[in-house]
Structure formats: C-alpha cells, structure tokens
Structure 1
Amino acid sequence: MDEYGKLFPSNGRYALQFERFFPFSCEKVFQVITDPEAFTKWYPFATGEMDLKEGGRIQFDDGEGAAYEAVILDLKPPHVFNFREIEDLIEISLQEENEGCRFFFTHTFDDQDMVEYVAAGWHRCIDVLEQIVHGQQVKWKYNASELRETYKKQFS
C-alpha cells in the first residue's frame, strides 16, 4: 500500500514529507540513496555526478538545456543526507526501527500552486526508490494524474 505524503507549514514555506518503512538496515538503504547510479533512476534530472561530502555538489540537467547543481548541507552516513537544490531544501533521514529502518523524505519549497504536482511527483519517485531498495526492476506507474487529484483533495 502506498504511503501518501503530508504537508506542513515551515517558516512561511511548505514542507512535504514522505515516510516509508524498509525491511533493511539503514546502511543498505543509505547506500542505495547515495549511490550515483541508483540516484539517477529515482531522483529527477540527476546526472550521476555527485561529490558525496558536506559542501559537495550534485549535478542536475533537465534535458531541456537547464543544468544546475545542489549543495550537500549535511551528510551523516547512514542516517542523514540533506542538500539544497536551487532554493529548495531536500532532507532525507533514516532511523533504525524493528527489523529495518524508517525513511523520511522532506522537500521544503515556496510555491503553493505546485503542491499537488510536487507531491505526486515525489510520490512516484519514492515508489521507484522503494523498488530499487528491494532489488526490483524499475517500473514507473502511470498514476501521476490520479495522484495529483488525490493530493489536490488532501491539501485543499
């Protein structure tokens, strides 16, 4: 069953948070999250160029001529991976839980008009991350419009 994101106010901005449980260690999940090749499969526009250290850069290319980079703000393997992508903040954390770990993904951004689009997009990306962590072949679901409608209702 999919776990839907939640929206919170955050210092005049919006924080969209997703949470999932993985039946694997924090170390295994963290390795997948920060592996440049795996990162390109679940994170939008990632090029695979990643300098994995605090202050390191992550390269992105939207395929339409816009290249940009993120800066890694906090990196504490195997629990914390936070970076600033343009003006947005991405915070990924893992907490040990029972026979696995709890994954938290938070995207803090400004544009209220984009909430359902951002939520649907991340929902789909995290579904793909889940497939990768489980060692499955990546299969993107064609559910973006349904998710946008669900999130529009949930957040209005």
Structure 2
Amino acid sequence: MLAEIKKDGNGYIAKFERHLNHSAEDVWSYLTDNEKLPKWFPELRVDELREGGVIKFNMGNGTFIEMTITELKMQSILEYTWAEDLVRFELYPKIDGCKLVLNEKLTKITDHTPRDLAGWHVCLDVIDALLDGRTIESRKDVWKIWYEKYIKAIEEVVSV
C-alpha cells in the first residue's frame, strides 16, 4: 500500500489509494469536520469550507499557517495548498464503501519528503481505523516503519 511516487514535469506526485468499507460521506466528514479532524490530524482546522477558503495548520507555538482551498466539490474533492505543494483528496463512491485517493503534488523532493509521506500514510491508516471503530496503538511506531520504506521509495524515484 505504499504511495506511488513518480516524476511529473518539474516536480513529483505521490499518489495514495485506499479502498475503505465506508461511505464517501463518512470519509468526507473526517476530512472536513472540525470535530473529527483532530482525531487523525490534530494540527488541522477548517476555517472556511469553500473554494478560496482556508484550512489552518497549528504550528503548536501560537502561530498558524493558512492553506488555501483551491478546489472543492462536496463529498468528492478537497484540494488545498501545502506550502509550495498541493494536497488533493478525491472520494469515489463504491457499492461496498468508497475509494480514497490522496495526491500530493511536490514541487521538489527534500529531506523532509519521506517524513511527510510516511505521515500521510499513517493518517490514512488512522482514518480507516477510526471509521472501523479501531485504534492504532502507537502511531509513532507505525510511522517509523513507513518512514524507512518512503526513504527507499524516494531514492528509487530520484535516481532514475
């Protein structure tokens, strides 16, 4: 279930795909509802759920980074800026749940990229677990495993 990472023009795209046994509406609520967001990504808060609206990232020191919502289709697409990059969630309803696609458009690969990708990977695992009524005991331990895998995956893409 490792994200597919590939060169795209002058940058890169990391694509995560998950089949979730829950409706697109239920998954959407975890992406956009300020009561549910902190359960999987405590630093995020939606201030204005609309194109041109704002999602805030709490830096933990009293400051916030504002990220702009660049595309929004209710229950379907949520795209917003992430520093120089773009994060895009897409939901596709299926008979037995939905397909969740997360694309992160990366302007460049940095030393921090494997950390971020491992973080997104674990966040998606946490959303799935929450919807199933499960918990992930140690997100940090799970993150460490994926972090090592993303270091290798990025090395493969960059060396091509």
TM value normalised by structure 1: 0.86
Does residue 81 (structure 1) correspond to residue 78 (structure 2)? The answer is yes
Aligned pair in 2 of structure 1 residues 86, 11: CA closer, same or farther (>3 Å)?
Answer: same
Question: 1:66 deviation in Å?
Answer: 4.0
Q: How big is the alpha-carbon RMSD for the aligned residues of Structure 1 and Structure 2?
A: 2.0
Deviation at 1:138, TM superposition (A): 5.8
In structure 2, stretches of 5+ residues that fail to align are 156-160
- Return the offset for 1:37: 2.2
Q: What is the TM-score with the length of structure 2 in the denominator?
A: 0.84
2:71 touches 2:78 (CA, 8 Å); kept in 1?
A: yes
Question: Number of residues paired by the alignment?
Answer: 153
Flag the 1:31–1:65 CA change in 2: closer, same or farther, 3 A: closer
| Bigger mean CA deviation after superposition, 49-58 or 99-108 | 49-58
Shift of the alpha carbon at 1:9? Answer: 1.7
Give distance in 2, aligned partners of 1:76 and 1:49: 15
Distance 2:68 2:137 in 1: 29
Identity %: 27
Q: Secondary structure at the match of 2:6?
A: strand
Alignment partners' CA distance in 1, 2:78 and 2:46:
16
- Corresponding position of 2:49: 52
**Aligned counterpart, 1:6:** 4
SS of the residue aligned with 1:143? Answer: helix
Contact 2:21 2:96 in 1 (8 A): yes
Matched with 1:105 is 102
Q: CA deviation at 1:20?
A: 0.7
1:137 positional shift? 4.3
